[in-house]
Amino acid sequence: GRPVRVHHLRQAKASGARLTMITAYDALTARIFDEAGMDMLLVGDSIGNVMLGHSSTLQVRLEEIEVATRAVASAVTRAMVVADLPFGTYEAGPAQALDSAAALLRAGANAVKLEGGAPRAQSVRALSQAGIPVVGHLGFTPQSVNSLGGFRVQGRGQEAGDKLLQDALALEEAGAIGLVLEMVPSDLAQRVTQALSGTTIGIGAGPHCDAQVLVWADMAGMTDWRPRFAKQFGQVGQALHQAVQDYGQAVREGSFPAPEHGFEQ
């Protein structure tokens, strides 16, 4: 089909069609996810935890997202590629955000994502005015894990809920095309979804968002990490383990390589 772009997000919201997003960090998996019909691929800074062995997203550098974005973009024919701005590459203000976002667009991203609410509005405006679609990220924002006090649900209660809604409206007013809502109560996610004309992309945010995102390693069963919102739709880790085990055994017992795997004179 035709590439998914910003206007398709608006069309989907208007028609009530749910959109799908999954993380991708390389060409190998990006091709599979694109062919499987994902509307958006997120080159998330979760690459730090998932692929690079870090304990948080704070260690991820812009260059690492650039490399991953180039790989993902090279493999995609339909999905919209959204790339995360890593910690420390945009918070200083619009000029820094523009430099960093430009690097990701040069690498092939169609949009960038950044964390935070009203304090980010100026930068969101600068990027939007430069023609760079921006996706926000509210609720549990992993780059702020040290001030949020750990991995926990955000926006519980009237006051915190109202503040999150105000942050969402500030991002939209600044030009954001949508935002990720991570680990917020389902009724708050519904309120935000109804209040915004942009796309809400939920993860641990209940069934009322316009779109859903999951980290591919979680949904495919690659690890033991199983938060309640990360349903496993496959056991790919187990399948890969078995394939490698079978390969090793075949080599050790001499059944592989067989004559047909070799070349004639």
Binding-site members for Mg(2+) are 45, 84, 115
- Residue 57 CB, nearest approach to ligand KIV (Å): 6
Place of tokens 């509210």: 138
Given 34, 39, 84, 210, the residue binding ligand KIV (CB under 6 A):
84
> Which residue's CB is nearer to ligand KIV, number 129 or number 141?
141
Closest CA to 151 of 164, 161, 142: 142
Q: How many residues bind ligand KIV (CB under 6 A)?
A: 11
Would you give the binding string for ligand KIV spanning residues 30-69, x where CB under 6 A is met?
------------x-xxx-----------------------
Given 23, 89, 100, 110, the residue binding ligand KIV (CB under 6 A):
23
Which does residue 213 touch among Na ion, ligand KIV, none (CB within 5 to 8 A, set by kind)? ligand KIV
Q: What are phi and psi of 99, to 5 degrees?
A: -60, -45
Query: What ranges make up the beta strands (E) of 85-238?
Result: 111-113, 134-139, 178-182, 199-203, 211-214
Annotated binding site for 3-methyl-2-oxobutanoate: 45-46, 84, 113
> Which residue's CB is nearer to ligand KIV, number 1 or number 85?
85
> Which residue's CB is nearer to ligand KIV, number 75 or number 203?
203
Contact 25, 68 (CB under 8 A): yes
Under rule CB under 6 A, residue 217 binds ligand KIV = no
Rounded distance between C-alpha atoms, residue 168 and residue 187, angstroms: 15
Given 180, 183, 192, 196, the residue binding ligand KIV (CB under 6 A):
180
Closest CA to 184 of 127, 134, 117, 233: 117
Closest CA to 74 of 114, 122, 25, 120: 25
Rounded distance between C-alpha atoms, residue 180 and residue 40, angstroms: 12
Told to judge if 182 belongs to the known catalytic residues of this protein, a careful annotator would answer yes
Residue 72 exposure: Cα atoms within 13 Å on the Cβ side = 34
Under rule CB under 6 A, residue 181 binds ligand KIV = no
**How many other C-beta atoms lie within 10 A of the C-beta of residue 95?**
11
Question: Of the listed 172, 182, 253, 260, which one is catalytic?
Answer: 182
Under rule CB under 6 A, residue 200 binds ligand KIV = no
> Which residue's CB is nearer to ligand KIV, number 233 or number 247?
233
> Which residue's CB is nearer to ligand KIV, number 227 or number 244?
227
Under rule CB under 6 A, residue 213 binds ligand KIV = yes
For residue 257, say if its preceding peptide bond is cis, omega within 30 degrees of 0.
yes
Rounded distance between C-alpha atoms, residue 100 and residue 200, angstroms: 24
Catalytic site positions: 182
Residues in touch with ligand KIV (CB under 6 A): 23, 42, 44-46, 84, 180, 182, 203, 213, 215
